[in-house]
Amino acid sequence: MTRPLIRTMTVIGVGLIGGSFARALKGSGAVERVIGVDRDQENLKTALELGVVDEAAPSLADGVRAADLVFLAVPVRSVAAVVAELAPHLAGGCIVTDGGSVKDELVRQCEALLPAGVAFVGGHPIAGTEHSGAAASFAELFKGRRCILTPTATTDAAALQTVRRLWEAAGSRVESMDPLTHDRVFAAVSHLPHMVAYALVHAVAASAEEEENILAFSAGGFRDFTRIASSDPVMWRDIALMNRGPLLDLLDRYADELAALRQRVESGDGTWLEQFFRTSKRLRDEIT
């Protein structure tokens, strides 16, 4: 890359996602300077020491004044408040984008809050680990992973193209999706599995109260399945509440499937159970 796509990028929330985005874009030369803003000053200090950011801003306003692009990597229910606070301090032509996994309500809020001449582009990188903080970030997080952009009828075309190119520079395969469709899709493939993992840990922990050594026997299957229950509780609280409608629909559907499974186990219907497991195995094996 002969010259950067963005001169100055401000990352608000320099954790796993924000920090990794900064590392990837600095490493590829797509961004010249990164300013970090984070309410956790120790985390921001770590980001500066590790070279994740080039500067640590003392305040939100100071952090965004010189920004050509602002990347929001904060819990989704905090995004609107952050945008409302930073909006008066943005220069004309600035682009604001995010990495949140709920899009419909968030995109509508941000588009309404930003002044004329400032574009918002909703984004969701499909990448992550169960770890958090600047120290957990790494430049390769997004390589080969999808990133979903969620433009609307009012999204600025040039801003959308810039954000697309940035994610491609970070190594992502970029796709576009309507915000509400996005939320329905990810309620199914991401948000529901997290809710199930959290609930499973609670269920097994309750059994552990009766059989105190039960968790000592947890094998790879339990650990692998529940790994995502180690994810940031604040982030997942906000996702569950902000994507409440689509998530409730999926929770109800899952409850129906679980109830049917319980009934067949209780009745001893081995034929039904085998067919149920075979169908599930086939569907899972088809995932690439």
Measured distance CA(143)–CA(141) in Å, rounded: 6
The tokens for 117 are: 């001449």
Same fold, 6-177 and 181-285: no
Banded model confidence at residue 232, pLDDT cuts 50, 70, 90: confident
Does the structure show a pLDDT above 80 at 153? yes
Does the structure show a pLDDT above 90 at 238? yes
Domain spans of the chain, in order of start: 6-177, 181-285
Q: What is the pLDDT of residue 245?
A: 95
Whether the pTM exceeds 0.85: the reply is yes
The fold of 6-177 is Rossmann fold (3.40.50)
Q: What is the pLDDT of residue 225?
A: 84
* Tens of pLDDT, residues 52-90: 999 999 999 999 999 999 999 999 999 999 999 999 999
Q: What is the pLDDT of residue 208?
A: 61
* Tens of pLDDT, residues 83-110: 999 999 999 999 999 999 999 999 999 9
Helix, strand or coil, per DSSP, at residue 80? helix
Q: How many CA atoms lie within 13 A of 280 on its CB side?
A: 8
* CATH superfamily of domain region 181-285: 6-phosphogluconate dehydrogenase C-terminal like domain (1.10.3660.10)
Does the structure show a pLDDT above 70 at 1? no
